[in-house]
Amino acid sequence: MSEQLIGTAMRRIDGRQKVTGAAKYAADHPLPGMLYAYGVYSTVASGKIVRIDDQAAKAMPGVVTVLHHGNLPTLHRTPNAPLNVKEILHASRVDEHRLPFEDDGVYYPGQFVALVVANTFEQARAAAHKVKVEYQAKDAVRSLAQGLKTKGARDGGRGHKRGDPNAEVGTQRIDVTYTTPVEVHNPMEMHATTAWWEDGRLYVYESSQGVLNHRNLLANVFDLPPERVEVRAPFIGSGFGSKLWPWPHAIAACAAAKVTGKPVQLVLPRAQMFTTVGHRPDTIQRMRMATDANGKLVSIRHESFNSTSTLDPYTEACGVVTKNLYSCPNVLVSHSIAAVNRGTPTSMRAPGAAPGLFALESAIDEMALAVGMDPLKFRQLNLSTTDESVQLPWSSNHLPEAINTAAERFGWHQRDPRVGAMREGDELIGYGMGACNWDAFQVPAEARVTLRSDGSALVQCAVQDVGTGTYTIVAQTVAQLTGLPVDKIEVELGSSAFPPGPVSGGSWVTSSIMPALAGATRQALERLRGYAVAASGPFADGDVQALTIEGGALVNGEQRVSFADVLKSQKLARAEGRFQSGMPVNPTHSFRSFGAHFVEVRWDPGISRLRVARVVSAIDVGKVVNPLAGRNQVEGAIVMGLGMALFEAGEFDPRSGLPANNNYAEYVVPVHADMPEIEVILLDYPDYNLNEFGARGMGEIGVTGLAAAVANAVYHATGKRIRSLPITKEKLMA
Amino acid sequence: MTDSSKTVNTFTPTVEAIETSRRNFLKFGASGAAAVTLSGVLPGMAAQALAQPAVIDAHTPKAGERRIRLTVNGVAQELNVATNAILLDVLRDRLQLTGTKKGCDHGQCGACTLLVNGVAINSCLSIAVQHDGDAITTIEGLAQNGTLHPVQEAFWEHDAYQCGYCTSGQIMSAVAILQDPAIGRDDASVREAMSGNICRCGAYKNILAAVQSARGKMARVG
């Protein structure tokens, strides 16, 4: 353990594959005799399939079969159980429980109604357009407002209550409502499946954030022992949550491969990325806050409503941060859901917290102004010093420092608090801030580390690198503990055949796999020490405890023998370690990550052009393992937050309920030209209460609080309080 | 497929103006993203490559197919393609060049960007039979005998990606932009020119840094 690798900026070990096009994603596996599948998707939001006429399609060249509810072999559902993170390595979850082609019902627009399988992609696509589907359309529930009105709200759970939040307390009060639209993950790689069957076994390349869960699900659906299914995702074109849990296409493709007896590739068109693979639901959030005469919060009520599908309940838990970020004796958090005819929603990067902190951090700004305080000072006055929702101390919370550091770097003290008082040329300048916050977890994970006689080490885990740099973190960890150079560490991830790993979500991968890697490495080294002191070993009859690890060698005083030579001395190929790590048991702390965004916006009132010019953020996520990839994570999350603030909204035709902007041109996401100056400060305080490396995780936190910081800056520049995302120019013209 | 000595040096600073033929105009018009009308390919590349075409399909084209010859990364290939086949799908499905990605199939995201006769286009918007006789450079054709192109090296050094799915397209656009004297060298010009290539992971800051850093290295290569 010589060189300090954990905490050192490192370029990625899989970088060469990514820059040469050699990294293989789910649809990059052309197989001999492979067929191509193309879906037919419902063009009504609600109703029943009366008839499917596939005669013309079947007569077209190259068409092998057309599957639909009338002819698909029986499949089986997976158990409908809530996620239990303790059992995450045995999970077989979906968010949409209905199987594809299960019945003749149409529950949402863009639902699979048929699947054409043909020899070539061109043939499948052409034939899919010739399948005629006759519907008996029903009146659809087309919006959250309509869902609430016609069917009413159901309790979505995950609420919280302490004190008496109903009391008409305080001297200053606000009562405001925020709305956020449907957001769509839209990872660059469209969901894709390449599946084939061989000797009763099912093999799948899937764009999946969880190969093990996906395997367990397919085993349930096709009634197979899990060992007979292998799911691989060595690379995925990111997911942001949409690829956490399997969606109907994945099952449909495997069924098509079974029916045809050939490999089948199915790539969703971009339009269906908006319908049948989840989305962040729209929310309506009423916030009521009150302070005493000194500006101390005395009551917070955060009541959130979100849309879900008619098939499944999904709760966007917007209030989870409201219950503990600020100190307040009387708090109510509630979540209600209402069904609409859309596909089932799912987790999207920082689920709950992203829309929730838009409301909370906007409301904090409004409350500060109502009290007549600087929004920064108001936050400092009210920040919690313990987690008051569970009455536990924070494991490691440096939010006050994050606020001060970022404020200084940003130049907050130069802010003229008067609305519209800062100007340069034609542009009004606004400064705004918002806190960001996300969970810190450690979940079960298992890894295998094999020291090999060629001087290398092989590391395997069924976890995924979704673009966050997991391959490199694995290599850094094992290199650190063995002293082997990073280029001698071979890392294999993304196959369900490896030791079980968790889904890549919740920002928990780094904090969960590092303890598993450490345990497996230590076990392999223990084995190696045993070989070294064997009768014919290089340290024969020596003291095992005296053998230290240095630079890929066992060392005792002057004697130094490489791992490879120890193995060779015993004619062994490998020393293996395998270890499963768990979760914090009876935790004595509350674990979260913290940070603050400071945003400068510029608004030209003449043409109502709004842009974000500058973002400075300070983030407290524990130990940062690879600052190069880590900073990139936060910067990328800020870019997604920018999209949430200014551009992104999934729109639905109010007459039909059909998606109206289901493509990459009309669902606007940030591009190069939208980039502000971004500076991210990583505080880098290890959180040893969570794990021995002090790492928490940083994939999601950056997206939270950003939209509020933008909205607060927009108010400062324009005097217009925009409570409905995205903040588009027409809202500023009103 | 064949002899790597035929791969083409695509980062030579040689710049030749493209003739404004109707054909090139149409291709340019079809490419929404970061299209540039300059060639960085070596003159005479096509002639050299045509010497020994690799025959993918020996049979005569079936109904609805046409026989075309493409020079891909310096290697001439003869194959039959459906008349409705898209260049992107032909490269990925028929030639197994899966480095070029499909992100939207509508010319909206830039993931499928590659060079046709030195011009950056969205290959998802281009019918394959229109490219009979064209020289195509994909991400797989940038490295020279295992040595990365300066833009590839810069992307790796600057962590100019996360998931890597848009990376091929970003790199191909960057290669084209850096050879285009009509595009300014300042950050704002590069951002504008790269705006047809979406990175949903949001690694734009590092991509800009990589492009600007490769600029200096490409000059030295020349």
DSSP B110-135: -TTEEEETTEEEEGGGSBGGGGTT-E
pLDDT digits over A540-589, tens only? 989 999 999 999 999 999 999 999 999 999 999 999 999 999 998 888 99
B61 Cα to chain A: minimum distance (Å): 14
- Residue A19: CA count within 13 A, CB half-sphere: 29
- A469 contacts on B by Cβ (under 8 Å): 162
Q: What confidence score (pLDDT) does residue A587 get?
A: 86
Position B218 pLDDT exceeds 60: yes
CA distance A670 to A663: 14
User: Length of chain B, please?
Assistant: 222
Q: What would the two tokens of residue A370 be?
A: 């109502």
Whether A188 sits inside 8 A of B140 (CB atoms) is no
Whether B206 sits inside 8 A of A632 (CB atoms) is yes
Position B16 pLDDT exceeds 90: no
Position B20 pLDDT exceeds 80: no
Q: Are B173 and B89 contacting, i.e. CB atoms less than 8 angstroms apart?
A: no
CA distance A212 to A509: 14
pLDDT digits over A250-296, tens only? 999 999 999 999 999 999 999 999 999 999 999 999 999 999 999 99
Identify the active-site residue in A303, A388, A648, A700.
A700
Planar angle of CA B193, B198, B201, nearest 5 degrees: 130
Q: What phi and psi values does residue A216 have, to the nearest 5 degrees?
A: -60, -35
B109–A contact, CB cutoff 8 A: yes
Q: What confidence score (pLDDT) does residue B55 get?
A: 85
- Which ranges in A372-468 belong to alpha helices (H)? 375-382, 399-410
CA torsion through residues A404, A410, A414, A419, sign? negative
SS3 A159: coil
CA distance A195 to A218: 11
Mutate to test the interface with A, among B129, B165, B187, B213 (most CBs of A within 10 A): B165
Whether B204 sits inside 8 A of A639 (CB atoms) is yes
SS3 A403: helix
pLDDT digits over A6-49, tens only? 999 999 999 999 999 999 999 999 999 999 999 999 999 999 99
Q: What is the mean pLDDT of residues B16-39?
A: 35
Closest residue of A to B100, CA-based?
A21
**Number of CB pairs < 8 Å for A and B?**
181
> Which amino acid is it at A95?
D
B56 Cα to chain A: minimum distance (Å): 15
Buried b (16+ CB within 10 A) or exposed e, A640-668: bbbbbbbbbbbebeeebbbbebbbbeebb
From the list A669, A583, A623, the residue with the least C-alpha distance to A240 is A669
Whether A19 sits inside 8 A of B100 (CB atoms) is no
Q: Are A480 and A695 contacting, i.e. CB atoms less than 8 angstroms apart?
A: no
Q: What is the mean pLDDT of residues A306-335?
A: 98
- A25 contacts on B by Cβ (under 8 Å): 98, 101, 165
- Which ranges in A151-275 belong to alpha helices (H)? 211-221, 248-260
Closest residue of B to A664, CA-based?
B108
Position B24 pLDDT exceeds 90: no
B91–A contact, CB cutoff 8 A: no
Q: Kindly list the domain boundaries of chain B, sorted by start residue.
A: 4-141, 150-221
Percent composition of chain B: helix, strand, coil (DSSP 3-state, to 5): 35, 15, 45
Q: What confidence score (pLDDT) does residue A81 get?
A: 87
B38 Cα to chain A: minimum distance (Å): 22
A555–B contact, CB cutoff 8 A: no
Q: What confidence score (pLDDT) does residue A521 get?
A: 98
A717 Cα to chain B: minimum distance (Å): 24
Q: How far is CA A485 from CA A490, A523, A567, A574, A672, in A?
A: 11, 19, 18, 18, 36
Class of domain B4-141: alpha beta
Q: How far is CA A191 from CA A75, A194, A247, A272, B71, in A?
A: 21, 11, 9, 9, 31
DSSP A519-576: HHHHHHHHHHHHHHTSTTSTTTT--GGG-EEETTEEEETTEEEEHHHHHHHTT-SEEE
- Which ranges in A427-495 belong to alpha helices (H)? 470-482
CA distance B47 to B205: 40
Q: Are A481 and A730 contacting, i.e. CB atoms less than 8 angstroms apart?
A: no
pLDDT digits over A63-105, tens only? 999 999 999 999 999 999 889 999 999 999 999 999 999 999 9
- CATH topology classification for A35-139+185-274: Aldehyde Oxidoreductase; domain 3 (3.90.1170)
From the list A553, A577, A530, the residue with the least C-alpha distance to A483 is A553
CA distance A642 to A622: 24
Q: What confidence score (pLDDT) does residue A167 get?
A: 67
Q: Are B196 and A631 contacting, i.e. CB atoms less than 8 angstroms apart?
A: no
Q: What confidence score (pLDDT) does residue A166 get?
A: 76
Could you tell me whether strands A283-291 and A297-309 are parallel, antiparallel, or unpaired per DSSP bridges? antiparallel
Whether A664 sits inside 8 A of B82 (CB atoms) is no
Residues in Cβ contact with A703 at an 8 Å cutoff, skipping those fewer than 6 apart: A349, A350, A354, A436, A637, A638, A640, A641, A644
CA distance B119 to B114: 8
pLDDT digits over A651-693, tens only? 999 999 999 999 999 999 999 999 999 999 999 999 999 999 9
Sheet holding A553-556, edge to edge: A548-550, A553-556, A559-562
Q: Count Cβ atoms below 10 Å from residue B157 Cβ, excluding itself.
A: 17
Q: What confidence score (pLDDT) does residue A358 get?
A: 99
pLDDT band at B37 (very low <50, low <70, confident <90, very high): very low
Q: What confidence score (pLDDT) does residue B51 get?
A: 52
CA distance A180 to A438: 19
Q: Decide which of 3.30.365.10, 3.90.1150.10, 3.30.70.1060, 3.30.460.20 is the CATH code for A15-21+442-581.
A: 3.30.365.10
CA distance A142 to B179: 50
Torsion of the alpha carbons at B138, B140, B141 and B146, rounded to the nearest 10: 160
HEC readout, A581-631: ECCCCCCCCECEEEEEEEEEEEEECCCCEEEEEEEEEEEECECCCCHHHHH
Closest residue of B to A271, CA-based?
B104
CA distance A523 to A576: 7
A122–B contact, CB cutoff 8 A: yes
Long-range contact list for B20-29, CB < 8 A, 24+ apart?
B23/B130, B24/B117, B24/B119, B26/B130, B27/B116, B27/B119, B27/B121, B27/B126, B27/B130, B28/B119, B28/B121
Q: What would the two tokens of residue A571 be?
A: 């004619």
- B198 contacts on A by Cβ (under 8 Å): 188, 664, 669, 671
β-bridge partners, A41: A112
Q: Is the ipTM above a cut-off of 0.95?
A: yes
Domain B150-221: CATH superfamily, name plus number: [2Fe-2S]-binding domain (1.10.150.120)
Question: Which DSSP state fits A256?
Answer: H
- CATH topology classification for A283-441+587-733: Aldehyde Oxidoreductase; domain 4 (3.30.365)
Q: What confidence score (pLDDT) does residue B45 get?
A: 39
CA distance A79 to B81: 46
A30–B contact, CB cutoff 8 A: yes
Q: Where in chain A are all domains bearing CATH 3.30.365.10?
A: 15-21+442-581, 283-441+587-733
pLDDT band at B220 (very low <50, low <70, confident <90, very high): low
Of A14, A663, A678, the CB nearest to B205: A678
Mutate to test the interface with A, among B162, B170, B186 (most CBs of A within 10 A): B162
Average pLDDT, chain A: 97
Q: What confidence score (pLDDT) does residue B56 get?
A: 86
Q: Count Cβ atoms below 10 Å from residue B67 Cβ, excluding itself.
A: 14
Q: What phi and psi values does residue A149 have, to the nearest 5 degrees?
A: -75, -45
Q: What is the mean pLDDT of residues B141-159?
A: 97
Position A188 pLDDT exceeds 60: yes
Position A299 pLDDT exceeds 50: yes
Q: How far is CA A127 from CA A41, A106, A664, B63, in A?
A: 13, 22, 25, 17
> Which amino acid is it at A711?
A
A672–B contact, CB cutoff 8 A: yes
Q: What confidence score (pLDDT) does residue A470 get?
A: 98
Q: What confidence score (pLDDT) does residue A63 get?
A: 98
More confident residue, A196 or B29: A196
Q: How far is CA B116 from CA A647, B1, B10, in A?
A: 33, 20, 11
- B109 contacts on A by Cβ (under 8 Å): 188, 664
The residue whose two tokens read 């008409």 is A168
- B90 contacts on A by Cβ (under 8 Å): none
Closest residue of B to A662, CA-based?
B104
Q: Count Cβ atoms below 10 Å from residue A329 Cβ, excluding itself.
A: 15
Q: Are A332 and A160 contacting, i.e. CB atoms less than 8 angstroms apart?
A: yes
Of A409-418, A571-580, A612-621, B26-35, the least confident: B26-35
Where are any strands of DSSP class E within B157-220?
none
Q: What is the mean pLDDT of residues B161-181?
A: 97
Whether B82 sits inside 8 A of A190 (CB atoms) is no
A700 is catalytic: yes
In chain A, the percentage of residues whose pLDDT exceeds 90 is 97
Of A19, A23, A675, the CB nearest to B205: A675
- Which ranges in A117-203 belong to alpha helices (H)? 121-128, 144-150
